[in-house]
Amino acid sequence: MIMKHYPVLLNEIIEKLEIKNNGIYVDLTLGRAGHSSNILKKIKTGWLYSFDKDSEAIKKSDNLLKQISNNFTLIHSDFKNFKQKLEELKINKVDGILMDLGVSSPQLDEAERGFSYNKDARLDMRMDTNQKLDAHFIINNYDESELIKIFKNNADVMLPERVAKGIIENRPINNTLELVEIIKNSLPAKIVRMKNPAKAVFQAIRIAVNNEFESLKIALNDSLNLLNSNGKLAIITFHSIEDRIVKNFFGNLIKNKTDHRLPIMEKKDWKVKIILPSKEEIEKNKRSRSAKLRILTKLS
């Protein structure tokens, strides 16, 4: 069953971006254009630039957005390249940037994409299907220490050493459900009963396949100089590790640069707001449960 795609924290995003008729906005995670379509509705003479690594997302969203307006450009690229891509289009300043770091519903629901631990398919997990590295290669070729590093750095994988050892001992592994069984058999029954341990392992592998954390860090740094005064950088995170990256990056921007004990009024260049999904949204869309929206505003 294909679940309906709900853009997470949509109303909050549209409100907090304070979209101007003539503004320039960038959606770095187009997906199925849930956020992009609603941003575009608010733009009259401005422009929307939307990025995605997934060519299917670009194709499907193009048709949807054309029904609203022609004031947009879709760019098939990893968002770590967005500054360079915008410069090529002579765009040096923007009024708002959005990143929704969740995996889109279609990617999870389309079994053949190999993202889901609930559907059987060849191990894949590539957001950009043109790239060579996929989950199948990582699972069948990385050594034990490399797998353990991925599990520790990318997700809260329980007993990562046991999981890595189980994978090494059961190669070759071709399909998603085959991997799920190996993960479960590698761990004590008590842990398996608590929650499906495959969720964290699949998350860790997906992040490694798509180099997600490195792309996030590059995009965060490149966003700052692109924002106009009162420009917004809005980021939706879904798990603790990626949220920590964003939280620490924003925190370093807003922390005091002078000793707080000194009688000096320090001029702030940035401010941050954090928003969680409402109870109503969580009831409508369970995938929003772990979402957290952080909005950075450029004051100077």
Whether residue 67 is annotated as binding a ligand: the answer is: no
**Strand positions, DSSP E, 19-173:** 24-27, 47-52, 72-76, 94-100
Half-sphere exposure of 44 (CA within 13 A, CB side): 3
Whether residue 79 is annotated as binding a ligand: the answer is: yes
CA distances from 209 to 135, 187, 190, 191 (A): 6, 24, 29, 26
Q: Can you tell me the distance from the alpha carbon of 250 to that of 248, in angstroms, rounded to the nearest whole number?
A: 6
Strands 292-298 and 270-275: antiparallel
Q: Can you tell me the distance from the alpha carbon of 183 to that of 144, in angstroms, rounded to the nearest whole number?
A: 14
Whether residue 260 is annotated as binding a ligand: the answer is: no
Q: Are 136 and 124 in contact (CB under 8 A)?
A: yes
Whether residue 34 is annotated as binding a ligand: the answer is: yes
Whether residue 269 is annotated as binding a ligand: the answer is: no
Q: Can you tell me the distance from the alpha carbon of 133 to that of 172, in angstroms, rounded to the nearest whole number?
A: 17
Whether residue 107 is annotated as binding a ligand: the answer is: yes
Q: Which residues are annotated as a binding site for S-adenosyl-L-methionine?
A: 33-35, 52, 79, 100, 107
- Return binding residues: 33-35, 52, 79, 100, 107
